[in-house]
Amino acid sequence: MTEITCKLLVIGAGPGGYVCAIRAGQLGIDTVIVESTRLGGSCLNVGCIPSKAMIHVAEEFEKATEAATGKTPFGLTAAEPKLDLKQAVAWKDGIVQRLNNGVAGLLRKAKVKIVHGKARFRDGKTVVVETETGPKTIQAEAIVIATGSAPVELPFLPFGGNVISSTGALALSEVPKRLVVVGGGYIGLELGTAFAKLGAKVTVVEAQDKILPLYDAELTGPISKRLTALGVEVLTGAKALGPTAKSDGLRIETADGKERSLPADKILVTVGRKPVTDGLGLQNLVLDMDGRFIRIGERCETAMRGIYAIGDVTGEPMLAHRAMAQGEMVAEIVAGLPRAWDKRGIAAICFTDPEIVSVGLSPDEAKRAGHELKIGQFPFAANGRAMTRHGEAGFVRVVAQAGSELVLGIQAVGQGVSELSAAFGLAIEMGATLQDIAGTIHAHPTLGEAFPEAAMKALGHALHI
């Protein structure tokens, strides 16, 4: 059995893990990273990146279809488009491969040793990795658990056949004529919207009484309207029961308690994600847990000295950029640097049509925390750039303390607002006030102009509404 010793061992090469390893290598720390599948984790290989690629394909196909049917308001016409989904998937896979190779190159540049295999804890300092060439024992002074998450499988709708996860949806060779999406959260609606644009008849089944339950009704309203325009049927308060007798659809219980069968060529199950910890040997450690997730402190430390956990394996919010920030911080802590981080500046983005961005506290959250508020909201219907992009739906909203005018939260819904997340996050991170935002000159014509306008509205003097 091969034995390896190092100062830092990172288990999992997803966004959090590989960033942690790269930063540690930059700081001169002897680092080993272990990955059982492909570098980049779920986000790069089967999640964030490939889903956005397919969302882009769907957007371009919809534009071409509108041009072919003469529905564009600016006089553009074109021939009827045709989609080769296999080619689209191959294009998506090519992007993933380039990024995958890029991660490998960055790790090598930082002098990080890469070990491919399945890791299992023997104790708090020792991990055994089963590789193709046999087991390797790795002893480390510090260990970071960054094993990520995987789609939740419903016991009465196991993955296989016409029941698929988000991973399966991104590898289809043809667009299903009828797609039923179980789960009205961001993953289900992002993919459901994309397939609706590609020509599928989509039905969304959500057990709660609203879609995107983590967002307020003002933010989700434009999305509901867009889903209706795309012909997507949304059934809220509905429960999935299992496949039909012939496995050609899904049985559900509707909000009024009646049973209904939904015909489907594919059933996409997106009801959440679970931490990847099976086979990791956590029973050989003494960690505090939050259900199946690993409990951590403000510096991502676990209950055992020298063991850290980052990313999805630690619970919500399950966001790649959260994992990256945690990974960078932990590497610097291991190097002896004083570090901490503030989760208030983490942006949550839903890549639906239109998109949603939320940073910091929503109005309801701020009220529950006891704050008296000033709230400013500016519609994209009054923004010149939004009008020229045919994306007037939505708004930017700024939530601030009434007395100090400190900005507590920023939300937006609209086409392309994901790119505003950087400005929103920076404002929260830097402790901006309404005057700071209103006094910052934003270029014209851009969507970003809605940001200071919303701050001005909260101050009582919006200029363009």
Q: Over the chain, what HEC string results?
A: CEEEEEEEEEECCCHHHHHHHHHHHHCCCCEEEEECCCCCHHHHHHCHHHHHHHHHHHHHHHHHHHHHCCCCCCCCCCCCCCCCHHHHHHHHHHHHHHHHHHHHHHHHHCCCEEEECEEEEEECCEEEEEECCEEEEEEEEEEEECCCEEECCECCECCECCEECHHHHCCCCCCCCEEEEECCCHHHHHHHHHHHHCCCEEEEEECCCCCCCCCCHHHHHHHHHHHHHCCCEEEECCEEEEECCCCCEEEEECCCCCEEEEECCEEEECCCEEECCCCCCHHHCCCCEECCEECCCCCCECCCCCEEECHHHHCCCCCHHHHHHHHHHHHHHHCCCCCCCCHHHCEEEECCCCEEEEEECCHHHHHHCCCCEEEEEEEHHHCHHHHHCCCCCCEEEEEEECCCCEEEEEEEEECCHHHHHHHHHHHHHCCCEHHHHHCCCCCCCCHHHHHHHHHHHHHCCCCCC
The residues annotated with a catalytic role in the active site are 444
